[in-house]
Structure 1
C-alpha cells in the first residue's frame, strides 16, 4: 500500500508551507492518501498544490530572484551594483560567494523544487482518476510545465552552466521521473548530466506547448510554455530556437507591453504584459522579493538589498524611467527599487519585455530580422521607458539593455554564465581580480540534508562531502 505520509506531506507543503496564521485548515486536507489518489478532486488538489508550492518564498516567491542577483554582483561595496545589508547570514554567504553546505536558504530552494517535481509526477501517474480526457490532457501539460520550471531553476543554480557546442556531461541534478510515495524507500541516485536535465526540461515544455490552451486563466498556458522555452534555449546558446520561440509568443500570444514601465509591476492580478507569474494573497504564498527589496512601509525589511551607483551609472539617459524607478527609504537612506512595493502583488516569472530582448539578441547573433529588427525591438522598450532611442545596436548594447530592463528580477548570474563573463571582485573596480563565469564559487552546494540521505550523489567541487 502506498504510504499515506507522503501524499499528506505534498498537500500540506503545497497549501500551508507559508500561509498566514489566520488561515484555517480545512479538515478535508486530512483525508487518507488512498482517498486522495483515488478521486478526481484529490488529483486536482495536488496540481493546485503544486502551484501553491511554487508560490512559497523558497519556490518561486522571490528567493531565486534575490539569489541570482546576489550571486552575480561583487561584494566589494565600492564597486557593486547591489549591496546586501540584511541580517540573514545565508544570503550574505551567497553575496560573498562563500556558501556552506548547511545554508538553509539554499536547502529550502532545493527542497521546494523537488516537492514541485514530485507533486507533478503524482498528478501524471494518477491522471486516470480524472474523468474528462480533455481535462486530463490539460492537467498533464500543466504538470509538465511546472516540473520543467523546477528542473530549470535547479540546474541553473546547482550545476556548472550549459556550454553551447560541446557535450555537457558535467553533473546536473537528480532526475526523479516517477512520484515517490514511500519515504522508507532508498532514494539514493546520482545526478544526471546537464545535457540530460535540459532534455527533460525541453521535452516537458514542448508537450506543454502542444497540449495547453492559449488562455488558461491564472495557470500556465501554451505561450507560457513557449516563453519559458525561449529562455531555456537562450541559456543553451541555441539562438535560432530562442528567436523562433520568442517570436511565436510576441506574434501569437496576444500579449502587449504595459503602457508605462511602472505599470508592469506591483499589481495583484494578471495584466497583458504578464506571461506567467505567481499569485500571492493574504491566504497563500510568500512574496520574498518584496520582503528583501522593500522598505518597512511597503511590507519589507527596510531594503536588505539596495541599489548602488554602479548600477545607476549603467544608464545613458537620466530621463529613462528605469533609471528613476527607485526611491530612498527615509528610515535608513538606502536606495531601493520600486519593482517590489506590494507584498500581495504577483511575483513575476515571465513578462513580454523579456521576449523582445530574447528576439533582439537572437536575431542579432544570427544576422536575421525575424519578426522585427534588433534595433526596433530594443527601441520599443526604450520608448516605453521614455529613454532616448538608439541609432544602432550591437551585442554589448543589447546585453546592457537586458540589465536595464530586467535588473533586480533574477537574471543577472544566469546572464553572466551564458555569456561567459566574469565578476570583478577587486576592491577598486579595476578588474585586477576576476571571478570567471564557471568558477565553482558560483555554483550552489548540494544541501547537506541531501548529501546525508542520498548515498550515491556527488557534491559540487569545493564543498567537501
Structure 2
C-alpha cells in the first residue's frame, strides 16, 4: 500500500515534494500509522499527577523538556523543538497536502466512496492534531471570553511559504467542530481498520471537544450517538493479568488507535501511590493496569496499544465516562450512574461489583470523575481534565512535587497549565507567546 508514495514520505516538508496524484496514494499517505499520522503528544503525562520519579532518575534525564515539564518550569524547551509540537503539525501538513490534491481529482460514481473516505480521513487527522495542540498550547476554554483568548496557531495550506497565524479560542473550536461535522458525512459507520478514522471516532472526538467547551448537552448527544454505532466493552474478567502486556493491540474497545512518543521519563516512572490505593481489591484494573518492581513500587502496564507505548487514541470506555458525566451535569443523575455502572461492571471481579445508586448530583459527579481518573489512567487525558475541572470546580487542584529537596507548585488557574509555543515558531511567524 505504501509503495505508491514511498518517495513522498521520505522527503521532508521543507523540501520540494513529489505529490501523489491518485486516491490510492493519498490514502496510503494517510496510512502512515507508525511514524506520522497516529501519534499523539505525551509531554502532558509528564506534567500531570499520575506518575513520579526519584531524584536520581530526574537528574539522569537527558531531555530538557522532560525535566522542565516535570517541575512546571517557565522555560520548557531550552531552544529545542519537541515532538509534541512537531508531530501534530506534520500531521496537519500531510492532511493539507491530501485535501489540496483532492481538488484535482474528480469525484465520480466509480471513486466516490474512496474519494469521500480520503477527504473525511484528512479532515479527521487534521482535527485530531489541532485538538491535541489546543489542550497543550492554548488556554482552557471559557465560554464567557473564548472569543478574546488566543487559540490555535493555524497552518492552513501545505505551502511552506505561507505564514502561520493565530485565531481566537472560540474560532479554533468552531473550526474543529465544522471540520468534524463534514468528516462525519464522509467516513464509514463501520470501523474496518482501527488505525483509520470512522464515524464513531468522529462522534467521540466531538463529544470530547464539547465536554471541554462545557456544552454538556452536545457532549451527551454525540457520545450517545457514538455508542449507538459502537459500544464494545472488554470484560476485564477475560483479560489475563499475568501477562506483561495484558491488552492486545487494536482490542475491542479501541475506536481509533494512536500512541504517544517514547519519552525516557516513562521507562522509570512510577504510579502515584494515592492513585494506586484508590483501586479496591476486587477492581480488576488494579492487577491489569499495574505491576510491582523490585523496590515494591507500582509500575504501569495497562497499555491499550498492545506494546510498551502509551495509548493516545479513542476508546469506548472514555465515551461511557463522557455520557455519565454529561448526563449528571444535565440533571439526569440516575441515567448517568446507570452508564457508569454498566462500564464498571466489566471492570470488577465477577460477582463482586455493587452498583452505585441513590446519590445526589454532587456525589454522583464526584464518583464519576474519580472513576474517570482511574479508568483512563495514562491516556493523556488527565492534564486536560485538571485544566477544565480547575476552572469549574469548587475544589480546584494544586499540583506539588519535591525534587532534590526543593518544592515545586503548580497552582490551580496558573498560566503554566498552558505550554509555551516554541520560540522558533514565534520568531518565524511573528506570533504572540503564551504567558507563563
TM-score, with length taken from structure 1: 0.76
Question: 2:143: which partner in 1?
Answer: 164
CA contact (8 A) 1:106 1:444 kept: no
Q: Using CA pairs below 8 Å that are at least 6 residues apart, which structure has the higher relative contact order?
A: 1
Change (3 A) 1:261 1:275: farther
Alpha-carbon distance, 1:196 to partner: 1.3
- For structure 2, which runs of at least 5 residues remain unmatched after alignment? 391-395
Q: After TM superposition, where is structure 1 displaced by more than 6 Å over at least 4 residues in a row?
A: 7-10
Q: Distance in 1 between matches of 2:33 and 2:276?
A: 38
Alpha-carbon distance, 1:135 to partner: 1.4
SS of 1:172's equivalent in the other structure is strand
Q: Distance in 2 between matches of 1:150 and 1:222?
A: 17
Question: 2:380: which partner in 1?
Answer: 410
CA contact (8 A) 1:159 1:171 kept: yes
Alpha-carbon distance, 1:266 to partner: 5.0
Alpha-carbon distance, 1:233 to partner: 0.6
Q: Distance in 1 between matches of 2:365 and 2:251?
A: 30
CA contact (8 A) 1:84 1:95 kept: no
Q: Distance in 2 between matches of 1:460 and 1:10?
A: 34
- For structure 1, which runs of at least 5 residues remain unmatched after alignment? 1-6, 16-29, 74-80, 280-285, 294-300
> CA RMSD of the aligned region, Å?
3.2
Alpha-carbon distance, 1:41 to partner: 4.1
Alignment length (residue pairs): 396
Q: Distance in 1 between matches of 2:131 and 2:397?
A: 22
Alignment of 1:249-398 (within 5 A): 249-250=226-227, 252-260=228-236, 263=239, 267-278=247-258, 288=262, 293=266, 301=267, 304-315=268-279, 317-324=280-287, 325-330=289-294, 332-340=295-303, 342-343=306-307, 347-368=311-332, 373-386=335-348, 387-391=353-357, 392=359, 393-398=363-368
SS of 2:398's equivalent in the other structure is strand
SS of 1:240's equivalent in the other structure is helix
Alpha-carbon distance, 1:415 to partner: 0.5
SS of 2:345's equivalent in the other structure is helix
Matched, 1:149 2:128: yes
Alpha-carbon distance, 1:71 to partner: 2.1
Change (3 A) 1:38 1:338: closer
Question: 1:457: which partner in 2?
Answer: 431
Question: 2:69: which partner in 1?
Answer: 94
Change (3 A) 1:440 1:166: closer
Matched, 1:82 2:51: yes
Alpha-carbon distance, 1:308 to partner: 2.7
Question: 2:207: which partner in 1?
Answer: 230
Matched, 1:244 2:221: yes
CA contact (8 A) 2:183 2:202 kept: yes
Alignment of 1:415-454 (within 5 A): 415-420=385-390, 421-425=396-400, 435-454=410-429
Change (3 A) 1:122 1:262: farther
